[in-house]
Amino acid sequence: MSDTKTRIDELVKSNDVVLYMKGTKSMPQCGFSSRVAGVLNYMGVEFTDVNVLADEDIRQGIKDYSDWPTIPQLYVKGEFVGGCDIITEMTLSGELDQLFDEKGVTYDKQAAEKIREANA
């Protein structure tokens, strides 16, 4: 296992929620990363952010790790969930809430409802 893959694996498995993104949760540097970080922040989810722009090895390595070509990438309890479109769909359908409930991730249920109401 390469050093990069090991670093990614350890981070994904040692944190409940990890978002590989362009920029940081407080300063996203792409619209897709901003949307996913915004959803997680709004829902009050504690998550670890990894700025792929700060490390080229991680930027390519995360794509290889998940076999998913785009960033952002969300991991919950060591499991790859998806990118921006998937997270958006899951948020609007309530599937993200279900996933957080199943995995024991704390989030603000009322905030999740507000997102759905605003997008109905």
Q: Summarize the annotated binding site for [2Fe-2S] cluster as residue ranges.
A: 30
- 53 HSE (CA, 13 A, CB side): 10
The single-letter DSSP state of residue 57 is: H
Q: What are the backbone angles phi and psi of residue 37, rounded to the nearest 5°?
A: -60, -40
* Longest alpha-carbon distance in the chain: 45
Residue from 78, 67, 84, 83 nearest 103 by CA: 78
- Residues that constitute the known binding site: 30
Q: Which helix (H) or strand (E) holds 20?
A: strand 17-21
